[in-house]
Amino acid sequence: MTRRRPGSQGALRAANEARVADVLRDGPATQSELADRTGLANATVSNIVKDLRERGSVSTSPTVHGGRRATLVTLEAQDGPTVVGVDFGRRHVRIAIARTDLQPLAEDSVALPAGHHASESLAVAATRLDELLEEVGLDRGRIAGTCVGVPGPIDMRTGTIAGHTILPEWVGVSQDRVAEALGLPVEVANDADLGAIAERTAGAYRGVDDLMFVKVGTGIGTGLVLGGRLHRGSIGIAGELGHVQVDPQGPLCVCGNRGCLETLASVRIMTQELSAALRRPVTTADIVEGALGGDPVTRRVIEDAGAAIGRATANAANLLAPSVIVVGGPLVAVGDLLLDPVRDGFRRFAIHALAESTEIVASSLGERAEVLGALVLARDGARVTAFM
């Protein structure tokens, strides 16, 4: 897979072409309107339109705009690229195929065993992807972009999955290895980052420029949208809220520190505590059922976890000042039984202005958030290359 340097002229040109194309998808526009709506210089728009017309991507015709002669630009009819999103979790892989409107052509989730290894699970995903493509009458040659989400940090320097993930069997797996297994060029991304992208693009808070997505699952991860852009940090691992220390004397964490949020408030810890208290194995589904059914032990565990999550998110918010904090993961089904203690913990430790202004809400996308985010990244990558 050819990688473009973010600052290269080729990448800038492709990004500007994608911006022009996005405007034209809403309907024909004059060159001056394209300049106004994209923020690009008139000369830049004129050169882009010329190149796109020569490649058959747009057509132009004379018109009158504001009493003056102008050039109307029309995007040529096309089906649009097909993109694929894949979301790997601790016990599942979800695959979705869609066009650029993000409405899935096909989607399915396949159960995976705990502790699954990359080679076996990628083979499962590749087989199911082929089956879904056959169901909708497409072949791999029609796929313009693919994004694969994993529940762990991605070191952008090497393109590999870094440590401290809930899938330790995947540590060191590279983007190239994932691409080879699926037989497609791919971008590998952190699942919480994908949740943040999905909430801003397809969720109830679309268009919000400063948003924090907190995924509470087997681990706890955070995706950050700052200033309207996904924020990954200098090496790609920003948002490791699960490894923010909450209790200096707390349990030892796999990262080597003590009292990290994951050791106090992850679903894995909740199931362990409840299993010990109730003297029987407890699953995530049991937590949801017990909480909604009024079980006091289950509710207490959720309240304690929520308070810890609220404290950690407050510390992060004091630095980043998001306008919305979206809580995702399998426990969103319990609603305010989790959100209220999160809000209480947040108000206690956030500075007053943030405590008063920051919304804390449940994900509107449920278990599909991450795969939708993968589709968005795959679509955006396809848009950059579609006019090259």
So what's the pLDDT on residue 22? 75
Helix axes 191-202, 369-386, angle to 10 degrees: 80
User: Of 4-8, 171-175, 195-199, 303-307, where does mean pLDDT reach its minimum?
Assistant: 4-8
How far, in Å, CA of 242 to CA of 261, rounded? 5
pLDDT tens digit string along 318-331? 999 999 999 999 99
Reported in sequence order, the residue ranges of the chain that DSSP labels E, i.e. its strands, are 29-30, 58-65, 68-75, 82-88, 92-98, 104-111, 143-150, 154-155, 160-161, 187-190, 211-216, 220-226, 229-231, 324-328, 359-362
Higher-confidence residue of 26 and 83: namely 83
How is domain 9-75 classified at the architecture level of CATH? Orthogonal Bundle (1.10)
**pLDDT (average), residues 4-22:** 63
- At residue 133, does pLDDT exceed 90? yes
| Burial zone of 129 (CB within 10 Å; 0-12 exposed, 13-18 middle, 19+ buried) | buried
Amino acid residing at 277: A
Residue 8 above 60 pLDDT? no
Domain boundaries, the chain: 9-75, 82-195+370-386, 204-364
- The per-residue pLDDT for range 373-388, each reduced to its tens digit, is 999 999 887 755 544 4
> Is pLDDT at 79 greater than 60 in this prediction?
no
Please give the mean pLDDT across all residues of the chain: 89
How much of the chain exceeds pLDDT 70, in percent? 93
Phi-psi region of 146 (alpha: psi -120 to 50; beta: other; left: phi over 0): beta
- Is the predicted pLDDT of residue 214 greater than 60, yes or no? yes
pLDDT at res. 205: 86
Q: How confident is the model at residue 18 (pLDDT cuts 50, 70, 90)?
A: confident
Residue 59 pLDDT: 87
Confidence of residue 166 (pLDDT cuts 50, 70, 90): confident
Domain 204-364 in this protein, CATH class: alpha beta
Average pLDDT, integer, range 29-41: 91
Work out whether the CA dihedral 190, 191, 192, 196 comes out positive or negative: positive
Closest to 216 measured CA to CA, from 149, 127, 272, 284 = 284
Whether the CB-CB separation of 388 and 14 falls below 8 Å is answered with yes
According to CATH, what is the number of the domain 82-195+370-386? 3.30.420.40
Is the per-residue pLDDT at 147 higher than 60?
A: yes
- Give the CA angle between residues 114, 86, 216 to the nearest 5°: 55
Which range has the top average pLDDT, 11-15, 22-26, 41-45, 352-356? 352-356
pLDDT of residue 9: 57
pLDDT at residue 7, rounded to an integer? 40
**Closest-CA residue to 230 (of 189, 285, 284):** 189
Same fold, 9-75 and 82-195+370-386: no
Mean pLDDT of 161-174: 89
pLDDT class for 17, splitting at 50, 70, 90? confident
The mean per-residue pLDDT over the stretch 163-175 comes to: 89
Amino acid 78: pLDDT: 53
